[in-house]
Structure 1
Amino acid sequence: MMLQVFKSKIHRVAVTEANLNYVGSITIDEALMEAANIIEGERVQIVNNNNGERLETYVIKGERNSGVICLNGAAARRVAVGDIVIIISYAYMSREEAIEYKPLTVFPDEKNQIPDTTLYETKLNEKPLETTKENRMLFV
């Protein structure tokens, strides 16, 4: 049996654009995608911290180091520029793989850039650390 489990997330990025007239998707800065192990075309969940909306879409690669987070198409109606969102990816794994897998969380700065120490990995069955702006560090 395969389980769908949390693979990675980009935690608290600011929406930079909302393009209603584009054909769907979310455009994400390529550097953020790589840091979170998310590929172009991958299905992701978007959680809007400002209004509680949740939606699913697929990823389009944005310009590297641009900080772009653009919701396209109908999804553009569910965000506003400046909203803070969490972008979550999932993967199918066997139970055994899921127990050993370490999800990855990327903590971008206020400009949607990746500071030197922003990655956090934990096994799913470990208690996660509370993260604040002051304690964003690399934990492996």
Structure 2
Amino acid sequence: MYIEVLKSKIHRCKVTQAELHYVGSITVDEDLMDAANIVENEKVQIVNINNGERFETYVIKGERGTGTVCLNGPAARKVQVGDVVIIISYCSIKFEDAKNHTPTLVFPDQHNRLV
């Protein structure tokens, strides 16, 4: 049996941009992606601390070292620039293996930089 567990999380990063007229997705600084073991096109859940919104999208690479966290397309309506969000990825894993699984947790600073 496989279960879905937390794979990685970028905890409390700040939305730097919201682009409504874009195909869709979330653009994330590649440094944050690497630290959280998130790859381009990976499905993620976004949790908005400011308004309680929860939604899913996929990740595209943002310029490394910029701190970019940009919601694109319809997701841009669910955030405001400056909102604090959590970016969560999950994986399917065997039930027995899940007992020893440790997710990757990233806690960026107020400028979305690694500390």
Whole-angstrom CA distance in 2 between matches of 1:88 and 1:20: 22
Classify the secondary structure of the residue corresponding to 1:33. Answer: helix
User: Match of 1:85, as an amino acid?
Assistant: V
Whole-angstrom CA distance in 2 between matches of 1:100 and 1:61: 30
The equivalent residue for 2:41 is 41
Whole-angstrom CA distance in 1 between matches of 2:38 and 2:5: 14
The equivalent residue for 1:72 is 72
Classify the secondary structure of the residue corresponding to 1:3. Answer: strand
The equivalent residue for 1:59 is 59
> Do residues 25 (structure 1) and 25 (structure 2) align?
yes
Normalization by structure 2: what TM-score? 0.99
Normalization by structure 1: what TM-score? 0.81
Q: Give the drift of 1:36.
A: 0.3
How many residues are treated as equivalent by the alignment? 115
Q: Greater strand share, 1 or 2?
A: 2
The equivalent residue for 2:13 is 13
The equivalent residue for 1:85 is 85
Higher radius of gyration, 1 or 2:
1
Runs of 4+ with deviation above 6 angstroms:
none
* Gap runs ≥5 in structure 1: 116-140
The equivalent residue for 1:127 is none
**Does 1 or 2 have the higher relative contact order (CA < 8 Å, sep 6+)?**
2
Whole-angstrom CA distance in 1 between matches of 2:58 and 2:113: 21
Q: Give the drift of 1:96.
A: 1.4
The equivalent residue for 2:110 is 110
User: Match of 1:23, as an amino acid?
Assistant: V
Whole-angstrom CA distance in 2 between matches of 1:113 and 1:97: 32
* Gap runs ≥5 in structure 2: none
